[in-house]
Structure 1
């Protein structure tokens, strides 16, 4: 009996150590994405392996929203101001039963030197057209382009994400629609 218990514990430990870090979710969750624009009209972009995108975080800590977004920008070594919500999007998946909400914020770069957060390969400023083109995830590219082209509108929309090999193609299933117009300060 004791040997069986020890073997079971060893097997469970072995399984726990070999699990992929990108496990499927076990619940719905929210992602906050931050488009930081500097005075040279460049966007802060980061690369994880071969995927380029704007900074983001899974909102799962006990933080206020602005506190979480400030923590995200600080992880990149930059201070931000003029934070504005620019989009709220929903994602469903054809390979698991959970959904995500994705909030997009735009902020102005104030100061700081870029540093590369742990787990990322690179972070740098890119001119807006290059940043949009270089964006590796179709939905993030489409959303970023929409937000940049129409900066006075807070956008909504929905995507379906598939799983094909190592790729996760997305399809826009509810085309972009205005949630409301932002109030610009003159």
Structure 2
């Protein structure tokens, strides 16, 4: 009986271990208004592109609409501009970052519950405010070459330094 319990316990622990090691997707939404300004949110004291883990049973289009509505707006012309593989030094799994661009359609910016502030910024001001080097590089790439679907692989260390394990490339 004891042997059976040990085998059963080992089996369930193995299943749990594998379940915890699944890669996951994270979506970033780069929204531009009519003036060409980009929307940023202030989260945990830092300005950045709004984003959220994609773990809901809905289509990507619906997910993007929901993310936009959480910021008080509706968007149009949604476009995938980048898929980036992130390896974090302190995590056993990879994260796939989806960077979408969209055009502001209507609505009033609303600060989401988890954020401290929200606003429109020129690209230059946005890049100056964003503290994450990898996000700055990605935003620069997708705004300077919007007709390319970008890919790259980035390793982010515990000290927040980054290393490109695969430089930017065209996924098309």
- Report the TM-score range of the alignment, normalised by the length of the smaller protein: 0.7 to 0.9
Distance in structure 2 (CA, Å) of the matches to 1:26 and 1:112: 39
Q: How far did 1:169 drift?
A: 2.7
Distance in structure 2 (CA, Å) of the matches to 1:60 and 1:78: 21
> Which of the numbers 148, 157, 172 marks the counterpart of 2:164?
172
Distance in structure 1 (CA, Å) of the matches to 2:110 and 2:161: 30
Q: How far did 1:28 drift?
A: 1.5
- What is aligned with 1:49? 44
- What is aligned with 1:80? 75
Does residue 138 (structure 1) correspond to residue 133 (structure 2)? The answer is yes
Q: Is the Cα contact below 8 Å between 1:52 and 1:136 reproduced in 2?
A: yes
Q: How far did 1:163 drift?
A: 0.9
TM-score under structure 1 length normalisation: 0.79
> Which of the numbers 129, 134, 148 marks the counterpart of 1:153?
148
User: Where in structure 2 are there 5+ consecutive unaligned residues?
Assistant: 1-19
User: Where in structure 1 are there 5+ consecutive unaligned residues?
Assistant: 1-24, 181-186
- What is aligned with 1:5? none
State the number of aligned residues: 153
Residues 131-140 or 79-88, more deviating:
131-140
Q: How far did 1:26 drift?
A: 5.0
**3-state DSSP class of the match of 1:153?**
coil
- What is aligned with 1:126? 121
**3-state DSSP class of the match of 1:40?**
coil
Distance in structure 2 (CA, Å) of the matches to 1:46 and 1:119: 10
Q: Is the Cα contact below 8 Å between 1:70 and 1:79 reproduced in 2?
A: yes
